Amino acid sequence: MSIPTSTSCSKKPGAQTPNPESETVWESEVLIEDVKLLARFRSQYNLVQVLELSRGADHPLAGARVLLLDRPGNIQSVYDPYKILTNAYYDVLASLPPILPQGPLHTFFGKLTVHIGDALGPEAMVDGGFAGIIVDLFSKGAVLPSLQQTETWERMKQRLRPGGRIMVNCGGSCVESESKKDGGITMEETIATLARVFPGQLSKRVIRFNGDNCIALTGPIPDLRAWMRSLQKPLLRGVFDWETVE
């Protein structure tokens, strides 16, 4: 059995053992005896699976519980009671707040409000604009096609307050789509579209310690040393891997 790779893109050696109950095609391999299936059911919208990896497994997510959706089995969330970090792009997303201007949530310190709806629709807006937006939108295992359209990013750009930034999970060749479209091509198309909307104001970082997942960041490239000083120690890894997109 193998673990999917939207969040964890490494390809580890191992014995691939098919799971007759699984409807997914998984890339990154792990021995079947190191995986426990905790839940598997089909909801109105998704095939849902929850797996737990043995702490002794030869995999970056050893000891974690992972939520998988649909046929590609790409990871939707990771929970590990023994680790602070996920060894995936989630860790990079957590580093965004220190380089943002003050936003509306500063007024409600400690309060999180969740809205359910179309994240790209006109109603996804706050007074004065967002200080920061994190985009992590996939469907059927692939980055949304609308994220390869300049109109989508133009609208999102207008929702930022002065100095606001957008951080985007652009995927990579390790991300498997139901359509079998190469994830690396989709990533490049997404980066190219962002560069047209944010010319000279786009940086990217490849998560080198765990595959080729690419994260993009709008706005001028931050002062990396100042950024490091503002982060907790567990999030320092890879800060100097950010580079400007020409």
Q: What are the boundaries of each domain within the chain? A: 2-84, 90-244
Structure tokens, 162: 């002065």
Q: List beta partners, residue 217.
A: 167, 203
pLDDT tens sequence across 30-88: 788 899 999 999 988 778 999 999 999 888 788 999 998 877 667 788 899 888 888 78
Residue position matching structure tokens 């300049």: 150
Supply φ then ψ for residue 143, to 5 degrees.
-55, 135
Q: Quick one: what percent of the chain has pLDDT higher than 90? A: 49
Structure tokens, 192: 């190219």
CATH 1.10.8 fits 90-244, yes or no: no
Report residue 209's pLDDT band, with 50, 70 and 90 as the boundaries: low
Distances (CA, A) of 184 to 6, 13, 191, 213: 12, 21, 11, 9
**Contact criterion met (CB below 8 Å) for 246 and 194:** no
- The pLDDT, as a whole number, for residue 105 is 55
Distances (CA, A) of 51 to 11, 17, 35: 18, 15, 7
Q: How many CA atoms lie within 13 A of 180 on its CB side?
A: 1
Average pLDDT score over residue span 107-134: 84
Question: What's the start-to-end Cα distance of the chain, in Å?
Answer: 40
- The pLDDT, as a whole number, for residue 92 is 93
Q: List beta partners, residue 2.
A: 29
- How far apart are alpha carbons 147 and 226 in whole angstroms? 30
Instruction: Write the DSSP symbol of residue 197.
Output: H
Q: What is the mean pLDDT of the chain?
A: 82
pLDDT at 180 over 80: no
CB atoms closer than 10 angstroms to residue 102: 11
Residue-wise over 165-203: b if at least 16 C-beta within 10 A, else e?
Answer: bbbbbbbbbbbbbeeebebeebbbbbbebbbebbeebbb
**Contact criterion met (CB below 8 Å) for 156 and 125:** no
Residues shown for the chain: 246
Give burial (CB, 10 Å; 0-12/13-18/19+) of 5: buried
Question: Rg for the chain (alpha carbons), in Å?
Answer: 18
pLDDT at 231 over 90: yes
